[in-house]
Structure 1
Amino acid sequence: MLKKALLFILLFCLFFVSQGVEPTKAESNFIRIAVKEGFDGKVKSGRGFPVQVTVENSGADFNGDILFNFATNYNSSGAKLLSIDVPKGSKKTYSLSIPALSEDYSQNSQLKQSIFLYKGSWKDDHEQDFIGDKILKPKYIDLDKRTMGFFSEDSDRLKELKVMALTNQIEPIVLTSEMVPEDELGLDSLDYILIDEFAISKLKKPQQQAILNWIQNGGKLIAGAEPNAAGSYGSLYQVLPMKPDKEAAADTKFFQVTPALPAFQQIPVFIGQVEKGADIAVKSGDLPMVIHKGYGAGEIWQTAFSLGDEPLSSSKEYGQWFATSPMLSNTSKSQLQNGGQNPFDMLFNEFAEINEYFSSTQFSVGQISLFLFIYLLLLAPFLYFLLKRLDKREYAWWIIIGAAVLSSVGIFAIGAKDRIAKPQMNQTGIYKAENDQLTGLEAVTFLSNTGGDYEVGFSKGKFYGVPGSTAMAVSDGKRYAVLENGRKTSSVTFPNVEYWATRTYFGHASKQSAGQFDIKLTYENKKLTGTIINQFPYDFEEVFIWSGSNKFKLGALKRGESLTVNETFQQDYLAGPYSTGNSYQVPSSQQEVDKFKRERMEYGAIEYLYNNSQSENQPILYGYTKDSVIEADIKGKNESKKGLSLIYQTIALDTKFSGPFTIKDDMLRTHINTIHGGFFNDSSENRREMELDEGEYDYVMELPNQLPKMRHEFKDLEITWQGANITCSLLNHSNGTFLPLTNSHTTIKEHLDEFISKDGVITIKLIKTGQGDPHVRMPALSIKGEISQ
């Protein structure tokens, strides 16, 4: 009887305990989730994109979190958080932006689920089952293509521009109001936004602000004319470079791209006062037709004519003209693209990885030898004679052991004191200053002092990063980092961090109303004179001028202070910075860490920012500051911080020079445009060698921007190239034809102005043949001429 009673009590207890434990995953499927990724289902690998999420609840009231796993490459994984509150029997639509997605990751056949639903907070791990879409699986746009989003009241109005886009390596995307996200990260997959008589004012205020922020961070807006621009453009109207207030008729000769004149002689235009600082890029007589201005790191192009009205919209010449117009010269958006590669593939190794080295107490070989000397040669004989004299030699066994233990504990405490007391945080940033805004890259790394969850918050700017490390394997995103973006601040939570472990978060960052260098410099007869005023809220421990491959140190410059410059240089002119490569060495000391960090910051500033911008071939002023552009802190921790940021600004020099000049390769700014084919990372430290697929490429070189503005005469152009797998031809800018370079060393002495554009651009077409060897050496140039006053 007693045994039966005990068995009954045991079964009752087991039943009671089982009822008190909530299952890991709820059994009911009363939540349905549907997602729409990107723009009409299209995104670009490694670029941010919007996601529309529709949640339908057929059960009880529900509030909780949805995590969207993503991976930017094989070594970077995370999850984006969306909090939802869906009452019983209702359906709600939410939007969020994913920072990036790798094509290889999302098309992995082993990936069964990347969307996870949690009841309450995801931190409580009460996963809820649901029905509907359980994986993000967008279509991917070719990375070699640019992307253009079209806003129009009727997309058929832009049929010629769509044809133009498709034939010029541009992916046309028709945008609707529902596609526009409420933060600029979701627009990251777009290079251009074109607006044709579309009521931007009807978009939500956050959507309009997202477009403005997207431009400021490097996007390019093309705004067409319409009768009521002030009422239609909404928040964008205030930033347009021209405020139209009257209508006129303009001659259409400026559209002429063939010997035949356009079929129509005039078109209606809307014109007004062009604001100060804006440029008139195209005119018809005295009327401005295309106006341009910089806005933050991006650009705004405004036309005086409607982009989709007849008869212009059905003209074949219109699309041809648009393709060659300055609006599409190249994209200014700094997307870290390198030959069609995912922008995050190399970014960690070349920029963020050095941020994971933390300073610590280290013992030199001499110090360790001294410890051994004291322990073996002093302590043992001293104890022997002392204890023998006291007749206490039996104490030696515990004194020697105790001394060893105390020494070990002391060495450990000295070496680990920084890691035990508090977590440490490193911040590294590289930024371009333009139009009172900083745009660039930031990396934040912390070294934990205990295990557990670490939440890092960011403020004083926009920071759209991704978690990453070379040691990270892509699997469950929430294991590594969960991202949450608020209106004013953002945060990333790293769960279950181990003792003395590092976590890194890196990516695009920007800050508005950040200040600038007020630069007033003159360059005359190899002498640079003038003043520089620091209008940033940062103290610079060092500032430099970088021209070509040469860097010139000017000294420290605190906030609000000025620096007088009186330096003599060797060059007749100053050009844009030229990077000589990156160091992949492993530092062996703290001094080497500091040295390599600065080398990689300088390399990154040129390769990822300067070379991806619309800046002319101009020298730069840059400086190092220990002040942080993006403020970061660990919630609930009193971390030890160490920061270093590089901020640069281009220098528009007033140059006075006369006499002969010679321009070598390191004074040219270069980039390569893919007509068809593909290219990989440059394979040498001097950027004069590439690895190219079989195909066609335009190798573009720009002279220092001061030369085209001066009275000059080019006298000699030497071009040297080599390689059995390529053929080269030189563009004649006057007629658009290419001159074959039949000899590997060609010298041109006549009609050089036909081969060097009025803006100082030289273009060589490369035809790469043969799949066997991708290695190609770029053509080398030497230009001689004379400047007259």
Structure 2
Amino acid sequence: MPCGIIGKINKYVTKAESETQMKKIVRVLMVAVIFFSTFLGVGAEKAAQNNGMIDVKINVGFNDVYKIGYSTPINVNIKNNFRDINGEVEIRVPSSPGKYMSYVKPVSLQKGAEKNITINVPIGNDSRTKYAVNIYDGGERIFEDTITTVASNNVTTFIGILSDDFDSLSYINSVPASAGISLVTKTIKLDEKNFPEDIFTLNAFNVLVINDFDTSRFSKTQYEIIKQWVRNGGTLIIGTGSKYNKTLSVFKDDFIEGSQGNVQEIATSKIYELATNGDNRNETKLEVLPLNIKDSTIVLEDRNVSLVQAHGKGRGVVGILAFDLGKAPFANWNNNTAFMVKVLELVNPGLTGTNANSGNNNINSFRNNTYALQEAVNQFSEMAAPKTSSYYLILLVYVLVVAPISYFILKKLDKRELMWLTVPVMAIIFGVIIYVTGSGTRLSQITTNIVSFINLDKNGNASADTYAGILNTNKSRVKISGQNGERLLPVNNNYYSDQTFEKEALEATIYAGENGRIEYKNSSLLDTKILQIQENSLDIGKIETNLKLKNGKITGTIKNSTGLELADCLLVMPDGYYKIDSLKSGAVVNLDTITPGRHEGNFHVMIGEVFFSRSYPNTSAAGTDRKRNLDLRQEGNILQRMSDYGNGQINGITFIGFSKTQIHKPLLVNSAAAKKNERNLLFMPVDVKFTDEGKVEYPLGFVPFEVINTSNLNYDMASGRFYGSGSAELIYKLDRDMLVEEFGINTSGLQTKSLGAGYSIYNINKETYEAVTDKVVEGESLKDYLAPGNTLKMKVEVTDGEIGVPQMSAKGRSK
């Protein structure tokens, strides 16, 4: 007589025996459930009680100042009256529903000693987030506490001041803003002790001011981070004068190159003029250091001395001042704040705006969208396509064999009511078999897919936002580190403020500090782990352009002098684009040989035409065609996601190119170099000459403007759009030395979204605004709209919605 459920099917089995056998099975299942439940609960910690013998003070941010969406320091000051401690400080950060990440740093402290431990942690998108702080001695928790952060919003402007006389610079507390717009600004005192050593924390700052501060006190890491921060879009102001030996002491490489004269005193009216918009022209004595900075632009000069110079680096700029900001006439001067705002505007005009923060706004928004990053790192054509034959075989076995046999056996046992148990159990078992089989067909080893957003300027200064997706195979524990000590930051799905950490599961441990690493615990095979990688340095060469506008068409050449093999390149303009299929390293393309495409001012239209018209219908193709179509889809999706945050509006001329060239070292995964696929996306603003043989031509979208007199409208500089209900005026400014022959206004394709919205142009003679859509003005009609100095005014009006900035073009000749 068989003792199991499955025996000889044609053998008679009594009802009593079958019931006994089923009871055994149920008991085995219950024992298994109890065992695994107990096993999984073994690691649960009990809350330690603070013994009162260590005094701990916790401070978040920079003097309690920090903002959402960026990393910030949590400072844990420990005064030890307990015993010798050798353990670690842990900060638990909520990462996703039911999970947290543990940021840890070792601590060794003798009894009677005091130490400050700083750990940088991300501040989530929830302005109020709960964090747990624990201190361990070996494996014993000797201190526990929770803190709740209340962060500034991510558009608050942070100004960092480095000075041995901070009080003398207290007037530096504002930044440029369009008329009618108020910005929230926080001024933060910094020194070499609290200055960040990772870019994720320093990126929270918009402006840094160094004056009367010995920069040689910076560590090598801090100096490298400053340079990277500038290239990422930061504005650095350096005061010199008689203290130049202190402020310039760290700048001994090619970041700032030039020569200097001797400190001298001059009488100048430029200081008062700048602060009062020319109303006060009185002279003041100023101690200055003549400086000749390579590749800089002089923005304020007097008596043959460059008072203020702007030195562009990547997306950012360094402002070098010939004077000391903490001395007379600036100290105790009623107009010192207004003066500093004007200096910032001269050095970096791009600071004007509500969302003018360090870095590229679209990339920053892309970074905060985990879904977009998941898409980017998961769509690599280098990964093998799943083999479906194994799936079909397993499904066939399940459908034709397992289910009927289960039914037949239970029918014989007169236990058909147990189908509710056997069917889901068998489904789970075969689901696991299918997944394990399928995972092996796609990835044979742990793979890192790296995506870099590289911004390049015309001089070859590069900055990059780099992300890695870790695709696991069958390992539940993954340890990740950089080969060159690169700092890594997990990109989480979300941050939640209502965590109860004792009941949550540990997702990963981040070992903070230099040469840190990340260790994922019990990581899901279904989840791609996303990391942001801090770039230590990036030298790829440059893109050389020689372009000019003639008869409405851009002509000239583009040369790829980088080390990247570029493909699917675009030269994007406000109303059109040039598509360049391939631009290998060293290659030159002449735009005269390319027919431009049109997109009516909407980036989304262009993406659809270039990337999706081919790739969407054919991603199931085989071989080379499949990989090509997947490349196009990946590239299009990345650009689509980035343009979502700018509402598809295009300003300026930008070169875009994709590359598979390997420029990053593989990450170390479980102590071995991981398999790596790489995709680099290159951006570069392009200069075009608007004057040719006396003729001047501004293409659509290139006439500079200023926003004034806003009424209940918020203006977003990044997207070029107004939000809310109200109105705003704009002043467009053409070259004063230009004889204007015609100008054009374009309002179509701006994706107006509102219950009521419209544009109007100011008629000087009628002294009133006239409704306008698309318009070309020439001849005698120019006098109706162009004011002296070649300016004109427009108005936008919105009712509960949003509207884009109208674009202007102009043609004429030099006077």
Question: Shared topology, TM-score over 0.5?
Answer: yes
Confirm or deny: 8 A CA contact 1:530 1:564 kept in the other structure.
Answer: yes
Q: Trace 1:699-710 onto structure 2 (pairs within 5 A).
A: none
Q: 1:445 aligns with which of 437, 462, 469?
A: 469
- Alignment CA distance shift 1:58-1:516 (3 Å): same
C-alpha distance in 1 between matches for 2:483 and 2:707:
37
In the TM superposition, what whole-angstrom CA distance separates every residue of 1:676-714 from its partner, at most 9, and x where no partner exists? Answer: 8686999xxx97876x234676779899xxxx6996635
Query: What residue number does 1:67 align with?
Result: 90
Q: TM-score normalised to the size of structure 1?
A: 0.72
Matched residue, 1:215: 230
Give matches, 1:400-439, under 5 Å: 415-419=438-442, 421-434=444-457, 435-439=459-463
Partner-residue secondary structure (3-state), 2:639 = helix
Matched, 1:693 2:713: no
**1:743 maps to which residue?**
771
Alignment partner of 1:458 out of 482, 488, 493 = 482
**1:521 equivalenced with 2:523 (yes/no):** no
Q: Residue 776 of structure 1 corresponds to which residue in structure 2? A: 802
- Provide the C-alpha distance between the structure 2 equivalents of 1:293 and 1:140, rounded to a whole number of angstroms: 33
Alpha-carbon spacing, 1:458–1:636, altered in 2? closer, same or farther (3 Å): closer
- 540-549 or 189-198, which moves further after superposition? 540-549
- 1:317: how far off? 3.7
Tell me if structure 1 keeps the 8 A contact 2:710–2:728: yes
CA distance in 1, matches of 2:495, 2:204: 28
SS in 2 for 1:289: strand
Q: Which residue pairs with 2:350 in the alignment?
A: 330
Within 5 Å, give how 1:352-431 maps onto structure 2. 352-357=374-379, 359=383, 361-362=385-386, 415-419=438-442, 421-431=444-454
Residues 75 and 471, structure 1, Cα contact 8 Å, conserved in 2: no
Amino acid in structure 2 at the alignment position of 1:145: T
Q: 1:103 to 1:233 in 2, by over 3 A?
A: farther
Q: Does 1:135 align with 2:154?
A: no
* SS, match of residue 783 in structure 2: coil
Which of 631, 644, 653 is equivalent to 2:679?
Answer: 644
For each residue in 1:582-607, what CA deviation from the matched residue of structure 2 results, as whole angstroms up to 9, or x when unmatched?
88999895656543320133346667
Name the CA distance, whole Å, in 2 between partners of 1:474 and 1:438: 40
Partner of 1:504: 529
State which of 288, 291, 296 in structure 1 corresponds to 2:309. 291
**Residue of structure 2 aligned with 1:468, choices 476, 492, 496:** 492
- Cα distance in 2 between the residues matched to 1:575 and 1:251: 49
* Alpha-carbon distance change, 170 to 285 in structure 1, aligned in 2, over 3 angstroms: farther
SS of the aligned residue for 1:245 comes to coil
Where do 5+ consecutive residues of structure 1 fail to align? 1-19, 121-125, 377-406
Q: Alignment partner for residue 68 of structure 2, among 15, 37, 45? A: 45
CA distance in 2, matches of 1:473, 1:540: 44
User: Residues 23 and 301 from structure 1, CA distance in 2 versus in 1: closer, same or farther, beyond 3 angstroms?
Assistant: closer
Question: In structure 1, what is the Cα distance between the partners aligned to 2:456 and 2:257?
Answer: 21
In the other structure, the counterpart of 1:310 is 328
Measured against aligned partners, the alpha-carbon deviations of 1:99-119 in whole angstroms (never above 9, x if no partner) come to: 43334341xxxx4x5223344
Are 1:48 and 1:97, in contact at CA under 8 Å, matched by a contact in 2? yes
Measure, in 1, the Cα distance between the counterparts of 2:445 and 2:189: 49
CA distance in 2 between counterparts of 1:616 and 1:512 reads 29
Amino acid at match of 1:134: T
**CA–CA distance in structure 2, aligned partners of residues 566 and 259 of structure 1:** 43
CA distance in 2, matches of 1:484, 1:212: 25
Distance in 2, Cα, partners of 1:710 & 1:461: 54
CA contact (8 A) 2:317 2:348 kept: no
**Structure 2 residue ranges without an equivalent (≥5):** 1-41, 401-429, 621-625
- Per mean C-alpha deviation after superposition, the further-off stretch among 171-180 and 572-581 is 572-581
* Structure 1 position 568 matched with structure 2 position 593: yes
Change (3 A) 1:349 1:751: farther
**Correspondence list, 1:41-190, <5 A:** 41-70=64-93, 78-106=101-129, 111=130, 113-120=131-138, 126=139, 128-130=141-143, 134-135=146-147, 137=149, 139-162=150-173, 169-177=183-191, 178-190=193-205
Distance in 1, matches of 2:605 and 2:154, equals 26
- The question of whether the paired residues in 1 share the 8 Å contact of 2:105 and 2:512 is answered with no
**Superposed counterparts of 1:583-602, under 5 Å:** 589=619, 591=626, 593-602=630-639
**Greater Cα shift, 508-517 or 602-611:** 602-611
Q: 1:309-348, CA deviations, whole angstroms, 9 ceiling, x for partnerless residues? A: 233333334433433442363337544657xx99478522
Q: How does 1:566-715 map to 2 (within 5 A)?
A: 567-569=592-594, 578=603, 580=605, 589=619, 591=626, 593-603=630-640, 617-629=652-664, 631-636=666-671, 639-653=674-688, 657=692, 663-664=699-700, 692-694=723-725, 713=740, 715=742
Q: Structure 1's 232 and 99: CA in aligned 2 closer, same or farther, altered over 3 A?
A: same
Deviation, 1:532, is: 1.7
Can you list the C-alpha shifts for 1:408-431, whole angstroms capped at 9, x where unaligned? Answer: 999988744335742333222221
> What percentage of residue pairs aligned between the two structures are identical?
14
Pick from 230, 240, 244: which aligns with 1:225?
240
Describe the SS at the equivalent of 1:235: coil
Q: What do you get for the CA RMSD once the two structures are aligned?
A: 5.3
User: Could you tell me the TM-score, scaled by structure 2's length?
Assistant: 0.70
CA contact (8 A) 2:721 2:805 kept: no
Judging changes above 3 Å, is the alpha-carbon distance between structure 1 residues 58 and 352 closer, same or farther for their aligned structure 2 residues?
Answer: same
How far apart, CA to CA, are the structure 2 residues paired with 1:544 and 1:582? 10
Q: How far has the Cα of 1:53 moved from its partner? A: 2.3
CA distance in 2, matches of 1:709, 1:147: 36
Q: Distance in 2 between matches of 1:274 and 1:129?
A: 58
Distance 1:572 1:555 in 2: 14
Amino acid at match of 2:372: E
Report the CA distance shift for 1:451/1:654 in structure 2 as closer, same or farther (over 3 A): same
- Look up the match of 2:3: none
Tell me if structure 2 keeps the 8 A contact 1:182–1:207: yes
Deviation of 1:570 after TM superposition, in Å, equals: 5.6
**Distance 1:756-1:422 versus aligned 2 partners, 3 A rule:** farther
